[in-house]
Structure 1
Amino acid sequence: MPILKIPVKHYLGIVSQSQQKDFKKRFRKRAEETDTARTSSVRRNPFETTQGFVEKYNQAQGSKEQEKYENLADVFLIRCKRRAGFISGGEGKHVDLPGAWTQLLLLSLCNGKVRNDSLDVLVVSLDHAPIHAGQIPVLFHLAESIQYFLSSDTTLSDPPSSYKTKMLQLGYLVSLRLFIFQLTGNLNGHQLSSIYLHSLKGLLKCETRYQDFPNMLFSVHFMMRVGEVLCGLKLTEDTSVQVSVEAQEHGVNQVLRQCLFSYHCVQNNGTQLSQVIKQLMLLRDKLQQDNWVDCGLGLMILGEAAKSSMLCLQTLMSLHMVQTQESTQEMASQKASWPWQLEHIYCSILIDICLNSSCAEIKKTALIGLSNSSPCRCSGGLLTLLKQSHEDKWRLRYSVVQGLAHISRRITLSESLRNTAWITLQKHLNQETDPRIINAVRIIEGDKRLLENHRERMRSSHTVYVCVCAQSEWITRRLAHTLSKIWPPVKLTTHSANHRHRIKTTKPRKEAVSTARTGEGCPEPPQTITKGTHKTPRHGPSHLDLRTRTDIDLMKVVEDQWQKELKIVMEREEEIEKTVLEKRKQEDEETIMKKRMEKVKKHTKPYELP
C-alpha cells in the first residue's frame, strides 16, 4: 500500500507555536469585524417609520428630546405624503400607496399633533386614491387595526372625540373599497384571517355606545354589513356567528346596475338616458326590500351623475318622494319606508351635490327641492327633510343640520346659497326640541374651533393643509369610474366628443376669490332663495344649457308617465275594494238568512210578505 505525503503549507511562516495561536486569534477577530461591517452596511431607511420610533416618540414626551422627535416625525409625515401622492391624486411613479398607508397608520399611534395630522392625510389619501387590486392586503390590515381599536375597552369607555370620528370615517372608506373589490371579484383568491373575524364581532359593542351619534353609528353599521358580506356570515347580539345565505349568494343588485347605466350615459352623452331612468323608477320598491348597502352604493353613483345632470337629480329626488308618500299613507305598512341608513346616504348625497356640483341650478335644486312640484307633494330637497317631525326621523334631521352647517360655512359657494342654509338652520334650531340634534350643533362648533387651530398650525409649519373633518368627496367618483369600466352598458349610443354640451359654472373666478377673502361669516344683508321662484344671484344670471333643458323636459315626461301609472294602480285598488265589500255584503245576508231559518223556519227576508 503506497504512502501518500500531503504537503503542509505554513501561511504564517516559520513561527513558534505560541505565536501561531496569537495570529489565529487576530485573524478570527478580523473576520468577525468584516462580517459585522458587511451586515451593518445594509441599513434601514432612516426616513421609514417603525414601531421602535413610535415607542421612542411617546417616551420622549415632556423631555429634552421631544423637539427632536417631533421634527423627525414631521419629516416622516412629509415623506408619507409624497409616497401617497397627496398632491397628485394618488398617481405617479413615486407613489407607493400600500407602504404609505402602513406608515401613516403607524404614525397615528404617536401622541399629540402627529396623530391627528397622520390620520387626516390617511383619510384624504383613501378618499382620492385610485382603486387597484394590489391594495387588498393593506386594506385588510387597516380594517383589522381600526376594528380592534374601536372595540377595545379603553375606546368604549372614553367619550366620543374627533380622533374617534376620523377612525370611523377611515373604517368606512376601507370597507367601501373592500366592498368594491368584492363586487368586481378580486377577493376570490384572498382568505380572511381569524383576526378580521374576531375584530368584526367586537364591533357589536359599539352599537350601544354611538346610538346618539348617527354619523358614527352609520360607519359602524356599514363596516359590520360589509364584513358580513365578505365573510358570508351573520352576526348576532350574543356574539355568535351564523351562516348567511344572503351573503353567500351576493350578486350585482339591479338598482346598482341601472344607476351605473345612468352614470355611463351622463359621462358619454348617451341617448338612452330616459329609458334607463324609466327602468330605474320601476325598481323603486327594491330600495325598500334589498340590501341597503347595495342600494346605497347605487344612490351614491346616481348622485355622482346628478352633479352634472338635472334629470338624474330629479330622478333621485323622485325615488325619495315616492317612498315618503307611501310611508305617510294610512294603509301603508311599516316596510314602506327606507331604512335609516339609506336615508342618511340620501342626505349625504344632497350635501355633496350642494358643495361640489359645477352648476348653480343643480345646487339650488338639491338644497330647496323641485320648484315645479305641486304644493301637496314633498319637493325632496335638503330643506324639506327638516319638516319630517316624526320621532323615527330624528337621525335624518341630525344629518341635515350638520349638512346645513357645512354649507353655510363653505366660502366658495354663492352668498344666496350660504345665507339660505344659515337662515333655515337658525329657524329650525329655535323650534327643535330634541336634545340630540341640538348637541349636533355643539359638536360642529367644537370642530370649527379645531379647524381654526389646525389652520394656524399648518400655516406656521408650512405643510400641506388638510381639513380636520374632511368629508368623502372623491371616493364616489373613483368607484363609479371603476364599476362602469367592469360592467359597461350594452347598446348605448354616444355623440361625438366635439358636440358634447358641458355645464359651466355660473360664478366667475374673480367673484369666487373676492368672496373667499371676506371670511367664513355670512354677509349682511342676507339674500335668500325662496321655494318655487328662480331668483338669479347678484353676480349674474344663471344660464341653462341645452343639456339641462332637455333633462328637465324628459323628467316632466317621466313624471307624467308615473302619474298615469299611479292613477291606474289607484283605480285597480278601488275596484278590488268594491268587490271585497260586495262579497262581505253577500256573506252577511247569507248568515242572517241562516239564523232566521233556524229560529223562524222561514226562507223569507224580515218584513217581507210570503
Structure 2
Amino acid sequence: MPVYKPPVVNKFGVISSTYHEELLKSNFESANRRKCQKPKPSFSITKEFILRFNHTDNPAEEEELLEQARKLIVRCKRKLGLKTLGSGKHVHLPTVWAEVIYLAQCKGEIQDEALNMLHASLDHVSFDYDQLPALFFLAESVLYRLCCDAFMKGYLYSVEIKLVKIGYLIFLRLFVFFLHGHLESFKQHLLRLQPYLYALYFSESSYYKYPNIFSNVQFILKTSELICKRELHSELFAESSDETEDLSSDPNHLQLDKRGYEVNHLLWHSVAAWSCVQHNRPQLSEVLDHLLFHKMQLRTKCWLDSVLALLVLGEAAKLNMACLKTLMDLMADFLKSVLSAQNQEEDYSTYDISWASDIIFTYSTIIAEVCLYAATSDLRKTALIGFCSCKSPQQDNILTDKSVELPELDGASILTLLKYFSSRISDNCDKVIWTGYYGVVYNMVKMSWELQGDEEQDGLRNMIWQTLQKIKDYEEDPRIQCALVIAQAELNDPSDPFGTKATPNSGEEVFSKYIGWRIANTLSRLFFPSLDLMALPSKTQVERDLPRKHIIKEQQPAKKRVLRFILKDYSSVVEHSMSPYPNFFTKADKKLEEIINHHWQKDMEARKREEATCEAQNQKDKEEKEKIRFQEIMKQRERKLNKQTKPYEIIPSAKESDPENKCEFYKLEPSTTPDAK
C-alpha cells in the first residue's frame, strides 16, 4: 500500500485537486500491483479526453467527442449489467465503476447519464467482497466532488443531489460489509476518506432545509464515524474494557463476534421476519410479536440499526400484510412517543431524538416504495390510505382546515401522515413535523412521476395527483413548497430544471428498488447461516436474559436429515460412452454447423452450375466467331482471285488427273552419259 500523505489545503479550506489526483493514481497503482499477473486494464476515458470534451470550442470536434462519449456510455451500460441486475460474464463492476466515475466529469447530458448509471448499478448489484476497493474509490471520488465542487456554489443543483444519493448507497453498502467484519484490512482507505468527511461535517448545516439531502448526509457521517471508530481505533476500543463489557452485557444488543458490532433486537427480528416471509415459515406471527416488543429500540442512539430494520421490514411489507401492519404500527408508536415527549417538555435525555426527523423521512420513502412496488393491490392500497375503512379515500385527500380540531394519529399510511402533519405545520413547529410533511410531499411527487404510463394504476396516480394539486393551491409554508420544487427539479430535464412542464429522464431511477432486498438477503445469510433447516435458528440463550411479558416456548432441535444414496446396477449395459453428454450450447453449436454446411453445399452446387453454363456459352461464342472469320476470309479471296477454292488448295491438271498416265508420270528415264556407252 502507498504511504499515506496528509492532505494539502488551500487558503479557502478546500482540499487541493493535485492531492486527490495523487491519491487516485496511487490507488490504481496499488490495485495493479496486487494483480501483476494480469494485464493492466486499458481505460479509453483519459484526462485529455475529459479536458477536450469540457473546453472545446470547435462545433465539429464537439460533435465528434459527444458521439464518442455516447459510445462509451453504451459500452459501460453493457459492462454494468443494468438489464441483468449486475450479473453475467460480460460484467466487471470494479473496472466499469472507475470508468463511469471518470466519465461523470464530462459536462452536460453525459454527466447526468453517467451518474444515473452509477446510481442504478449501486442499487441493484449484489454484495461481493471483491467490490470493496472500488467502493472506497467511489466514496473518495464522490466526497471529493461534493467538497471541492458542490460547496463552492451558492445554490443547490441537480448533480449535487445525485452525488449525495450515490454517496448514501456507497456508505450503506460499506456499513453492511462492516457488519460482516470485512473492513479490517482497509484502514488505509478509511484514512483517505477522513479529510473529505471532515469537510462534509462542517458543511452539513447548508443542507438543513433539504431533508432529502440532509438525511443522506447524516447517514454518511454517522456510518463513517462508527466504522472509523471501530476499525482505525480498534486497539483503543479493545483496551476500554468497561465500554465493551457494558455493550456485551446490554440485553438490547446482539454481538456478532468477539470484537464486532452489536446489533439490536429490532434489526435482528426484522431480518427474521423477512426470512419467514421468504421461506413461508409458520413462526412469522411470533417473530412480529417479538419485534413489536422491542419497539423502544427505535428511539435509541444506534439509529443506524433502525434504518436497516426499516429497510428490511419494508421489503417484507411488500409481500405480506402482517408485516405491513407491523411496520405502520411501529412508526405510529414512534411518532406518538416522540411528539408527546416534546409537547410535555419531559426530560428525554435517555433517548437522543435529534435524529428522529431522519427516521421519519426514511420511513416516508419506504412506505412510498411499498405503495408502488408491493406484490398485490391490497398492499398498495393499504400503504396509501391505511387500514381504516370507515372513511372514504376522497375525504382523506382534502387537507385539514387548521381552524378545526386537530386530528389524532390513527395510522402511518401516506394519506394519514399527510393529514396529520399538514394540520400541525407552522412557523415554529418542531422539526419532526415539517420534516415528515416534507418527506411525504416529496415522495408523492416522485410517486406521481413513477406511475406515468401505467394504465393499471391510473386510479392510484389520479388520487396522488389530486392531492398534490390541493397542496400546491392551499399550502403556503415555504418549506413544503420547496419540497415540490426540489422533487420537480430532480425529475425534470436538466436544461430547464424549474420548468412547469415535466420532462422526465428515462434513464434515472426515482427510487432505490433493489437495495433493501439486497441488504435483507445479505443480513439473512449473516444472522441465519443455516437457512436449509425447517425452522429459524433459536435465540434461546439471548431471549432467556430478556425481560419479556410473554413466555417463549423452547424450540426443539431440528432433526438431522439423512441422505440415502442408491447405487444403480449397470451390469446389463455393454459399454458406456466416456464422453460427457452434450449440453444445450454444444448441441446448438452442432446444429448451427450442420445448417451452415448444408447451405454452403447448396451454394457450391449453384456456383458450379453457373460456371458450367458460362463455359458452354463461351465455347459457343468462340465457335461462332471462328465461323464468321472464315466466311470473311473466303469472301476476300473470291473478290481478289476470282476463285472458289479454299486457301492452299491445288487443282490437278488433266494429265495428272488421268489414272492411266499417273504411272508414267513417275517413270524414270535411263541415263545417257558417255560412261554408259
SS at match of 1:450: coil
Pick aligned residue for 2:287 from 270, 276, 289: 276
User: Partner letter of residue 226 of structure 1?
Assistant: T
Structure with higher RCO (Cα < 8 A, 6+ apart): 1
Note the C-alpha offset of 1:86: 1.5
| Cα distance change of structure 1 residues 399 and 156 upon mapping to structure 2, 3 Å threshold | farther
Unaligned runs of 5+ in 2: 1-37, 233-239, 248-258, 392-406, 498-504, 536-548, 551-677
What residue in structure 1 maps to residue 312 of structure 2?
301
Alignment correspondent of 2:372? 355
Residue number in structure 1 paired with 2:414: 382
After TM superposition, the structure 1 stretch with the greater mean CA deviation from structure 2, 473-482 or 388-397, is 388-397
**Which of 382, 386, 396 is matched with 2:436 structurally?**
396
Equivalent residues of 1:408, 1:418 under 8 A apart:
yes
Q: Structure 2 matches for 1:198-209, cutoff 5 A?
A: 198-209=195-206
Taking a change above 3 Å as real, the CA distance of residues 328 and 117 of structure 1, as seen in their structure-2 partners, is closer
CA contact (8 A) 2:179 2:260 kept: no
1: CA distance, partners of 2:270 / 2:226: 21
Q: Does the aligned pair in 1 maintain the 2:151–2:203 contact within 8 Å? A: no
Question: Could you tell me which amino acid in structure 2 is paired with residue 402 of structure 1?
Answer: Y
Q: Give the one of 177, 202, 216 matched to 1:219.
A: 216
**1:208 deviation in Å?**
1.8
1:178-218 alpha-carbon deviations (Å, 9 max, x no partner): 01100111112222433211111111133121111111111
Deviations 1:147-178 (A, max 9, x none): 12212266342411111111111101101110
User: Of 512, 526, 538, which residue of structure 2 is paired with 1:472?
Assistant: 512
Q: Pick from 172, 177, 182: which aligns with 1:176? A: 172
Question: In the alignment, which residue of structure 1 is the partner of 2:459?
Answer: 416
- Structure 2 equivalent of residue 64 of structure 1: 60
Give the 3 Å change call, closer, same or farther, for CA 234–275 of structure 1 in structure 2.
same
Does the residue aligned with 1:252 lie in a helix, a strand or coil? strand
Match of 2:470 among 412, 423, 427: 427
Question: Which letter does structure 2 place at the counterpart of 1:277?
Answer: L
Distance 1:438 1:70 in 2: 37
Q: Which residue of 1 aligns with 2:139?
A: 143
Change in CA separation of 1:317 and 1:334 when aligned onto 2, cut-off 3 Å: farther
8 Å CA contact 2:411–2:417 kept in 1: the answer is: no
Helix, strand or coil at the partner of 2:481:
helix
Q: Secondary structure at the match of 1:217?
A: helix
Secondary structure, counterpart of 1:90 in structure 2: coil
Work out whether 1:449 is the aligned partner of 2:462: no
Which residue of 364, 381, 386 maps to 1:369? 386
Structure 2 vs 1, CA of residues 334 and 216 (structure 1 numbering), >3 Å: closer, same or farther? farther
- Separation in structure 1 between the aligned mates of residue 325 and residue 525 of structure 2, nearest angstrom: 25
Question: Relative to 1, partners in 2 of residues 1:301 and 1:332: Cα closer, same or farther, differing over 3 Å?
Answer: farther
Give the secondary structure class of the aligned counterpart of 2:155: coil
Contact between 1:307 and 1:313, CA under 8 Å: does it hold in 2? yes
CA distance in 1, matches of 2:390, 2:524: 32
Q: What's the TM-score, normalizing by structure 2? A: 0.60
Q: Deviations 1:574-605 (Å, cap 9, x if unpaired)? A: xxxxxxxxxxxxxxxxxxxxxxxxxxxxxxxx
One-letter amino acid matched to 2:467 = T
Using a 3 Å threshold, how does the CA distance of structure 1 residues 200 and 294 change in structure 2: closer, same or farther?
same
Q: Cα 1:154–1:327, aligned 2, differ >3 Å: closer, same or farther?
A: closer
Give, in angstroms, the shift of residue 126 of structure 1: 0.8
Identity level (%): 32
Partner of 1:289: 300
SS in structure 2 at match of 1:185: coil
Q: Distance in 1 between matches of 2:282 and 2:356?
A: 33
**Does the aligned pair in 1 maintain the 2:176–2:519 contact within 8 Å?**
yes
The one of 324, 328, 339 aligned to 2:335: 324
SS class of match (2:107)? coil
Match of 1:85 among 72, 81, 86: 81
What is the DSSP-based 3-state SS (H/G/I as helix, E as strand, rest coil) of the residue aligned with 1:308? coil
The Cα of 1:323 is off from its aligned counterpart by 2.2
1:413-438: CA deviation from partner (whole Å, max 9, x where unpaired): 62221222222223334442320210
For the aligned residues, what is the CA RMSD?
Answer: 3.2
Pick the structure with greater CA Rg: 2
1:334 deviation in Å?
6.2
The separation in 2 between residues aligned to 1:52 and 1:438, in whole angstroms, is 43
Q: Distance in 1 between matches of 2:488 and 2:517?
A: 30
Aligned to 1:117: 113
